[in-house]
Amino acid sequence: MGFYADQVFPRLMDWIMRAPRFQELRRQVLAPARGHVLEIGFGTGLNLPHYPKSVTWLTAVDPANFPNALVEKQTMAGSIPVKLVRLSAETLPFESGQFDWAVSTWTLCTISDPVAALREVRRVLKPGGQFIFLEHGRSDDPKILKWQNRLNPLQRVVACGCNLNRSIDALIRQAGLTIIQLERFQMDGVPRVAGSMYRGIATPHRPIITETLSSGRYRPIAPGAPGSGTV
Ligand SMILES: C[S@@+](CC[C@H](N)C(=O)[O-])C[C@H]1O[C@@H](n2cnc3c(N)ncnc32)[C@H](O)[C@@H]1O
């Protein structure tokens, strides 16, 4: 990949993203995780100290070959057993329906095909599983969005493939996941172009929306197709 991508960027990213304001967000968003967790885009492992004790096993994927010293420092520090696999999240070598929770923090901005990766997350989650996301992306403010679009080509080079202007919630829905919690906020101490945050939880199953008929029976209506369904 080159000296900058392999040696300089990982250290820079690790230094910026271990600041207390990032750590606090990690702690909050990871609190509900339980059981066997899949993390996509492990980076240098900055989420590890923030997983609760209810997490029994962590499987993590990331294609980057970050310096061992940076990653090991984190994996050795945690108490959860970690299996780190060096591959892209777009094609996961895991059986369907095996993870209790999945996690992505500041990663959907960088994955080349985020919808493919999210489809894989949906596939490998158990039916009752949940997907935690904490991501920066497209701003709702047209003035900020204009700057995000302008700066995106530069950001992709400087931050090794990171995009400023992805609609994170739209990508999650496009992959067939159902968002059950979504919070939008501006991150403190981060330039507005990179601090428009999406935090929430999505599930692999679709809710069944019903309407009650005059007969007292229920009619399921497929999401997105009002009026369809069978009695
Ligand atoms: C900004 S870093 C965030 C790292 C980490 N999630 C965190 O919160 O500190 C983005 C990460 O996404 C990883 N990444 C890029 N493409 C990926 C892919 N196709 N599948 C999985 N991870 C990927 C990068 O290698 C990098 O570690």
All domains of the chain, ordered by start, with CATH?
A: 3-221 (3.40.50.150)
pLDDT surpasses 50 at 231? no
Q: Which among 17, 50, 107 is the best mutation to test ligand 1's pocket, defined by most ligand atoms within 8 Å of the CB?
A: 107
Q: Is the CB of 111 under 6 A from ligand 1?
A: yes
Closest to 61 in 3D by CA, of 19, 21, 91: 91
Q: Is the CB of 102 under 6 A from ligand 1?
A: no
Is 136 in a helix, a strand, or coil? strand
Q: Rounded to 5 degrees, what angle do the CA atoms 151, 186, 117 make? A: 65
Cα(217) to centroid(ligand 1), Å: 48
Atom of ligand 1 nearest to the CA of 90: 19
Q: Which among 13, 46, 110, 112 is the best mutation to test ligand 1's pocket, defined by most ligand atoms within 8 Å of the CB?
A: 110
From CA 87, how far away is CA 40, in angstroms rounded?
A: 10
| Predicted local confidence at residue 74, as pLDDT | 73
Answer whether 47's CB lies under 8 Å from 25's CB.
no
Minimum mean pLDDT among 53-62, 74-83, 111-120, 131-140: which range?
74-83
Q: Is the CB of 155 under 6 A from ligand 1?
A: no
Cα(226) to centroid(ligand 1), Å: 38
From CA 116, how far away is CA 201, in angstroms rounded?
A: 18
pLDDT digits (tens, 9 = 90+) for 110-155: 999 999 999 999 999 999 999 999 999 999 999 999 999 999 999 9
Q: Which among 62, 85, 168 is the best mutation to test ligand 1's pocket, defined by most ligand atoms within 8 Å of the CB?
A: 62
Q: Which two tokens stand for residue 222?
A: 């497929």
Q: Is the CB of 41 under 6 A from ligand 1?
A: yes
Residues 6+ apart with CB under 8 A from 40: 60, 61, 62, 89, 102, 103, 104, 107, 111, 117, 121
pLDDT surpasses 60 at 203? yes
Residues 6+ apart with CB under 8 A from 6: 65, 66, 67
- Nearest protein Cα to ligand 1, atom 26: 43
From CA 202, how far away is CA 166, in angstroms rounded?
A: 17
Q: Is the CB of 121 under 6 A from ligand 1?
A: no
| Predicted local confidence at residue 224, as pLDDT | 46
Q: Which residue has the higher pLDDT, 45 or 225?
A: 45
Q: How would residue 229 be classed by pLDDT, with cut points 50, 70 and 90?
A: very low
